[in-house]
Amino acid sequence: MLKILAFTDEYIKDAADIFADNYKLLREANPELPIKYEKPDAIVPALKNIIERNPSAVAMEGDRVLGYMTGYAGIKEYKGSALGVYIPEWGHSSLASDNKELIYYELYSYLSKQWVERKNYTHCITFYSKDSTLKELFYNLCFGLLVIDGLMPVQQIKTSEMDEVVIREAESRDFPGLSELDKSINAHLNKSPIFLYKPKAEADIEELKSEFFNDEVKTFIAEKQGKIVSCIRGMLGKGPNVDIVQDKDTLGIDFGYTSADMRGSGIATNVLAKLIEWGLNNGMKRCAVDFESQNREAAAFWLRHFKPICHSVIRKVDDRV
Ligand SMILES: CC(C)(COP(=O)(O)OP(=O)(O)OC[C@H]1O[C@@H](n2cnc3c(N)ncnc32)[C@H](O)[C@@H]1OP(=O)(O)O)[C@@H](O)C(=O)NCCC(=O)NCCS
């Protein structure tokens, strides 16, 4: 019989084994993923740390761990004014079984009671995008798609010649133009139908400069008649992406924008190609990006080059409950 218990240290090894076995299957289908998460030890410290501080559960049958779930609870103003909880892609897993849907349902029911009792009304979970069981279960549990993480092997992409457009690395003299693109992307993300909230309306100049120009970051731009019309920013060995794509040879992308009047002519594709070439020359094996699923232009563009690897879905529980 299925039983849900608090996730304590004694279950960490079994939980990490289950995660690593499922990750191996994911990597078989996506060989560009880092190999390091195939070793159960890779997530043991993270599991130990998260279960110490947050409500966490295991699903058991007799002495056997069938699955587990845990997440970062008590996140202030999480996607709204309420407290929230985020369950990363390694914060849950289950044995392959016909019972998987039930295992997850019971784990979520057990934990969401504790989260809501602590006024954590916003729940977000990341899972492998091809996992149709979890997709359907969380859809039925009132979750909707928020963010897509995409992945591609670092290899050259096709580009086309463009008249009067120069693609090059950004230099500090380009900062005023980049700052304009930064304003535009924020306005784009803030407006209907995306409504992405940014706590600070105006970026701090020095902070913004260091986002575009620092030792780990490379910013590539397209320039037309002296005006910067497109930009993609990348970084070696890190990025804003889910944990399972992170490694020292992952090229992360955290900014992409083309001026509205210049879109659809292949400009961003050319800028991306330059960034990929830089990644290739610096030993990067995979490239990762994430974007809001409500951002139609971003989804159309990135999914031409990247395949979805993780979906993050979100639910807001009625706070009057
Ligand atoms: C996403 C974004 C950067 C794409 O920029 P872009 O310069 O329009 O991109 P491209 O022109 O290279 O590619 C876009 C389309 O043009 C098409 N295209 C037209 N001519 C082309 C050519 N000669 N070569 C390549 N692609 C061409 C592509 O097929 C592509 O079509 P698709 O989107 O239907 O797949 C841009 O839409 C944008 O800035 N959006 C708003 C900000 C944003 O959402 N940024 C991403 C945040 S995560």
Q: Give the residue whose CA is nearest to atom 12 of ligand 1.
A: 266
State what percent of residues in the chain have pLDDT above 70. Answer: 100
Q: Give the model's confidence band at 200: pLDDT under 50 very low, under 70 low, under 90 confident, else very high.
A: confident
Task: Report whether residue 281 contacts ligand 1, using a CB cutoff of 6 Å.
Answer: no
Instruction: List the structure tokens of 296.
Output: 């139609």
Q: How far apart are the first and last CA of the chain?
A: 31
Which among 301, 303, 306, 307 is the best mutation to test ligand 1's pocket, defined by most ligand atoms within 8 Å of the CB? Answer: 301
Rounded Cα distance between 30 and 21, Å, is 14
Protein residue closest via CA to atom 15 of ligand 1: 264
Residue 253 DSSP SS3: strand
For position 204, what pLDDT does the model report? 85
Determine whether the shortest distance from the Cβ of 295 to ligand 1 is under 6 A. Answer: yes
**Residue 63: phi, psi to the nearest 5?**
-95, 0
The Cα–Cα gap between 152 and 251 comes to 10
- Answer whether 264 contacts ligand 1 (Cβ < 6 A): yes
Q: Provide Rg for the chain, Cα atoms.
A: 21
Q: Whose CA is nearest to atom 16 of ligand 1?
A: 264
Whole-number average pLDDT of the chain = 96
pLDDT grade for 199, boundaries at 50, 70 and 90: confident
Helix (H) or strand (E) holding 85: strand 83-87
CA of 31 to the centre of ligand 1 (A): 27
Could you read off the pLDDT of 69-83 as tens digits, one per residue? 999 999 999 999 999
Residue 267 alpha carbon, nearest atom of ligand 1: 7
Question: 291 in ligand 1 pocket by Cβ < 6 Å?
Answer: yes
pLDDT in tens, 121-157: 999 999 999 999 999 999 999 999 999 999 999 999 9
pLDDT tens digits for 22-44?
A: 999 999 999 999 999 999 999 99
Is 96 touching ligand 1 by the criterion CB < 6 Å?
A: no
Whether the Cβ atoms of residue 316 and residue 146 lie closer than 8 Å to each other: no
Q: Is 190 in the pocket of ligand 1 (CB under 6 A)?
A: no
For the Cβ of 297 lying below 6 angstroms from any atom of ligand 1, the answer is yes
